[in-house]
Chains A and B, each alone.
Chain A
Amino acid sequence: MNPRCRPADHLSRRALLKGALATTAGGVFMNWGDLFGSAAHAKDVAKEQKSCILIWLNGGASQFETFDMKVGRPTGGPLRPIQTNVVGAQICELMPKMAQQMDKVAVIRSMRTSQIDHPGGIHLMHTGYGPSANVRYPEIGAVCAKFLGREKPDLPNFIKISSNGDAGAGFLGPNYQPFGLDHDGRLPQFAVSNLDPKIEANRNELRNFAEDSFALDRKVEVAGMHREAYESVRRLQKTLKVFDIEQEWAKHRDLYGDTKIGKGCMLARRLVESGVAFVEVGQSGYDTHADNFAGHKGLVPPMDHAWAGLLTDLHQRGMLKNTLVVWMGEIGRTPSINNRSGRDHYVRAWTTVLAGARIKPGIVYGETDLDGKDVKDKPVTEGDFFATIYKSLGINPNKENFQGVRPIPLAPFGSNVVEDLLA
């Protein structure tokens, strides 16, 4: 199996067909409730053309080496803060470019979440819910694809570039499954046809003819779904130019930084500009149980460059007001520095960052105590975080669907939108 082509990460022809059939079967058991009855709402949102880019720091970046420094304290570490373009707000010296973009972001220093390990944390911070054997929660990307995406799009509505998270579309079904790209934005092999276009067209005609004949005396929707699955892949063929970024990359390399994450962030902007509802760009390596400071010194600067470039680019194109940029990993890191010069997992007090869409720019929300061991003020749970994200994108976080008679809101019950973060 091609390691770049995991089934959960993309929509292959076969997976799409299987998924379409599974969805039909699923309809027997599941009541999709308001989700499928929300066409009017989805249309309203689509008018605003909101979209979301998630910069995913896999492994869990340290809040102490990014946005919540504790200099001079035993938990502080050797890195030092720098001033930003927001008065009173300091961030780590590893992020000089983001220091000049602080007037565009809202830093949440008071995250308190519930899953301390990677699998649970990755699921939690992609869905808002802890892993469950009974419910297949959809990732935020799938929710955005559902509520913000275009119908029958040429491009998939949920794209992942070198990123993590295996919840996928969950109960939303295969139409909202993520489409995975390689780490430098290359399309997976299945996305490009090897056939001569004439032969491909003839083959499609023959298939359509067979399907139409099959559907004439049958009432099931399988034939239609089968056709739609092929159509979506064929529509993708028309958009391949979007993924060919080399020409534009030459112009924007300095803005984003000549790195993997830089390229990913530029492609994310390009995809959102082309109508994709949700793009996730991943950077791995933050699980720094050993050599945390060296690790962050290697990872953060290219990320800083790419992220700052993305915000600058979105701003200059007038896209930031409708594009939410989320910066997070699955966990934070411990205040204590272990004897491997590392920091371990920590979820009692850590940091995420939002920018764009309805997010109030240039603010720092919440506070941790002197050593960063606990939230001192304004704790934000994963539910609050997702509720705020959804609201900033114009999606009702309380929108429910049903598993049997069990209602499942987009953000967990009891979540509160952090209104102070919204403009």
Chain B
Amino acid sequence: MPDLNPMKATLHCELVFEGAWTTSVAFLGSGRRLAAGNREGVLLVWDLPEQPTKESPAPTRKLEGHTNAINRLVASDDGKLLISASHDKSVRLWDPTVEPAGSAEVIVDSEQREREAKKNPKGAALSKPGVKIATQQAQHVFTGHRAWVQALGMSRDQKRLISGDDSGLVCVWDLATRQQLAKWTGSPANWITSACLSADGQTAFVAEFCSPRGSFDRPPAQVRLFEAATGKETLDFLKVLYPNVKVRDSSYGYATTWGQFVAQGLVAAEFSPDGKLLALAQGGETGTGKVHLMEVATGKLLRSVSGHQSGACDAIFSADGKYVLSVGRDTTLRICQVADGKEVAQLGKPRGGQFKDWFHAVALSPDQQWLAAADISGRVYVWSMG
């Protein structure tokens, strides 16, 4: 696998995906194939052009079934497995390499058409046909969630999956049998904001949060490790970080203390490839939007890196574990060295200086040659790293 060289990032193309916020993105293997989902539940696949282009390539496939926002996408290294988590309370499993089942017309430039129609009301901008593309259904739907599924993670051995919803339910799934291995619930009224599995799928990380409900009934956030097969808690990061603070269900003081670490919820989490570290992104509208690098063995904070003004949205490790890549509401993608926390690259200028709006999700191809960020304005930006 080639080394990731953040300094070589070159904007390759811009995928237009208008109509609703683009919320999730994943590379399908090491080729030039990519999937992205939006807030309306539309999930599309693109085949990226070989050469850099200013023209937006059309999508090639639509994955049908979701009826509400797609929050997270994870994919296998060979690109034969794509899993999506949605506000529609479902987790769906797809093989984007199978023969398509049908076709559909898709319009991905609705906002451009509306602008055109305003300039020329008598023109045919709004009635122009869309792109006809292949469609397919999910191979499997993981059911059992009772609320928005916001958390999703797959073990690096690609044998297990973890998902978490806003009712506090966490499920661990076996991908071969598609059976539920374990489930547990967090604190009452809390939402599962992020979850991930260690490389071998044995350890689960789960973060919980709930927006303020009132000054004395605010439930505490939770940031914990579990045995994935049993749901038995093995480490409480907040207890390690704040040993002198007593956990009480109704403690505002406790909430304000952990608020410095959790911000408005840890919205993204990933184990490093060697399993020694966890990257946790501070989400919601918050001033700092840091990514915490946590030591898995001790629960201690190694360092906080990056910093997305107004909040981070997603964070991942590079495949070689040398870098952590994060995106956020400041419209930037930032790449930091794990070893010393130094930020070595920033793609985009803060607050709309270059790209339009929040970067809601980030993805790196397994061979580290392609990088993508989903912009809520209805764009997916793709960089070549070679």
Are A and B associated in one complex? Answer: yes
Measured between alpha carbons, how far is A285 from B69 in the docked complex, in Å? 25
Measured between alpha carbons, how far is A286 from B175 in the docked complex, in Å? 41
Q: Is B285 within 8 A of A340, CB to CB?
A: yes
Measured between alpha carbons, how far is A183 from B212 in the docked complex, in Å? 15
A103 within 8 A of B: no
Q: Is A339 within 8 A of B376, CB to CB?
A: yes
Q: Is B213 within 8 A of A298, CB to CB?
A: yes
Given contacts A291-B264, A339-B358, A339-B376, contact A260 B285 (CB under 8 A): no
B242 within 8 A of A: no
Q: Is B358 within 8 A of A260, CB to CB?
A: no
Encoded as 1 (CB less than 8 Å from any A CB) or 0, chain B from 297 to 321 comes to 0000000000000100000000000
Q: Is A295 within 8 A of B217, CB to CB?
A: no
Sort chain A's interface into a size bin.
Answer: 20 to 34
A355 within 8 A of B: no
Give every chain B residue within 8 A of A299 (Cβ-Cβ): 211-213
Q: Is B217 within 8 A of A258, CB to CB?
A: yes
Contact of B216 among A260, A284, A285, A294 (CB under 8 A): A260
Q: Is B217 within 8 A of A78, CB to CB?
A: no
Encoded as 1 (CB less than 8 Å from any B CB) or 0, chain A from 160 to 194 comes to 00000000000000000000000110000000000
A283 within 8 A of B: yes
Q: Is A183 within 8 A of B357, CB to CB?
A: no
Measured between alpha carbons, how far is A261 from B212 in the docked complex, in Å? 13
Give every chain B residue within 8 A of A285 (Cβ-Cβ): 212, 214
Q: Is B87 within 8 A of A260, CB to CB?
A: no
8 Å CB interface, B262-299 against A: 264-265, 284-285
* Closest CB in chain B relative to A298 CB, distance in Å: 3
* Closest CB in chain A relative to B372 CB, distance in Å: 20
Measured between alpha carbons, how far is A32 from B275 in the docked complex, in Å? 77
Measured between alpha carbons, how far is A290 from B287 in the docked complex, in Å? 13
B166 within 8 A of A: yes
A302 within 8 A of B: yes
A72 nearest CB neighbor, chain B only: B40
Contact of A259 among B68, B69, B214 (CB under 8 A): B214
Q: Is B357 within 8 A of A290, CB to CB?
A: no
Give every chain B residue within 8 A of A259 (Cβ-Cβ): 213-214, 217
Give every chain A residue within 8 A of B191 (Cβ-Cβ): 297
Given contacts A183-B214, A294-B211, A302-B213, contact A78 B376 (CB under 8 A): no
Given contacts A290-B285, A339-B357, contact A260 B214 (CB under 8 A): yes
Q: Is B284 within 8 A of A78, CB to CB?
A: no
Given contacts A339-B357, A339-B358, contact A291 B284 (CB under 8 A): yes
Contact of B68 among A78, A260, A294 (CB under 8 A): A78
Give every chain A residue within 8 A of B217 (Cβ-Cβ): 258-260, 302
8 Å CB interface, A125-158 against B: none
Give every chain B residue within 8 A of A80 (Cβ-Cβ): 68
Contact of B212 among A78, A184, A298, A301 (CB under 8 A): A298
Encoded as 1 (CB less than 8 Å from any A CB) or 0, chain B from 173 to 215 comes to 0000000000000000101000000000000000000111111
Contact of B285 among A261, A291, A302 (CB under 8 A): A291
Q: Is A283 within 8 A of B358, CB to CB?
A: no
Give every chain A residue within 8 A of B87 (Cβ-Cβ): 78
Measured between alpha carbons, how far is A183 from B377 in the docked complex, in Å? 41
8 Å CB interface, A232-275 against B: 258-261
B150 nearest CB neighbor, chain A only: A294
A184 nearest CB neighbor, chain B only: B216
* Closest CB in chain A relative to B151 CB, distance in Å: 14
B145 within 8 A of A: no
B61 within 8 A of A: no
Give every chain B residue within 8 A of A284 (Cβ-Cβ): 214
Q: Is A298 within 8 A of B69, CB to CB?
A: no
Measured between alpha carbons, how far is A25 from B264 in the docked complex, in Å? 52
B39 within 8 A of A: yes
Measured between alpha carbons, how far is A408 from B161 in the docked complex, in Å? 67
Measured between alpha carbons, how far is A290 from B264 in the docked complex, in Å? 11
8 Å CB interface, A327-379 against B: 339-340
Q: Is A260 within 8 A of B211, CB to CB?
A: no
Give every chain B residue within 8 A of A291 (Cβ-Cβ): 211, 264, 284-285
Measured between alpha carbons, how far is A294 from B69 in the docked complex, in Å? 14
Determine which residue in A183, A298, A301, A340 has the highest number of CB atoms from chain B within 10 A of its CB, and name it. A298
Measured between alpha carbons, how far is A260 from B219 in the docked complex, in Å? 12
Determine which residue in B166, B285, B358 has the highest number of CB atoms from chain A within 10 A of its CB, and name it. B285
Give every chain A residue within 8 A of B376 (Cβ-Cβ): 339
* Closest CB in chain B relative to A303 CB, distance in Å: 9
Measured between alpha carbons, how far is A284 from B189 in the docked complex, in Å? 18
Give every chain A residue within 8 A of B265 (Cβ-Cβ): 294
Contact of B214 among A78, A261, A297 (CB under 8 A): A261
Contact of B69 among A78, A258, A283 (CB under 8 A): A78
B86 nearest CB neighbor, chain A only: A78
B356 nearest CB neighbor, chain A only: A339
Determine which residue in A80, A284, A294, A340 has the highest number of CB atoms from chain B within 10 A of its CB, and name it. A294
Measured between alpha carbons, how far is A4 from B212 in the docked complex, in Å? 20
12 contacts between A and B (CB under 8 A): A183-B215, A183-B216, A259-B213, A260-B213, A290-B285, A291-B264, A295-B211, A298-B210, A298-B211, A298-B213, A302-B217, A339-B376
Q: Which 4 A-B pairs have the closest CB atoms?
A: A298-B211, A260-B214, A290-B285, A259-B217
Given contacts A78-B68, A339-B376, 17 further A-B contacts (CB under 8 A): A78-B39, A80-B68, A183-B216, A259-B214, A259-B217, A260-B215, A290-B285, A291-B211, A294-B264, A294-B265, A297-B166, A297-B211, A298-B212, A302-B217, A339-B377, A340-B310, A340-B329
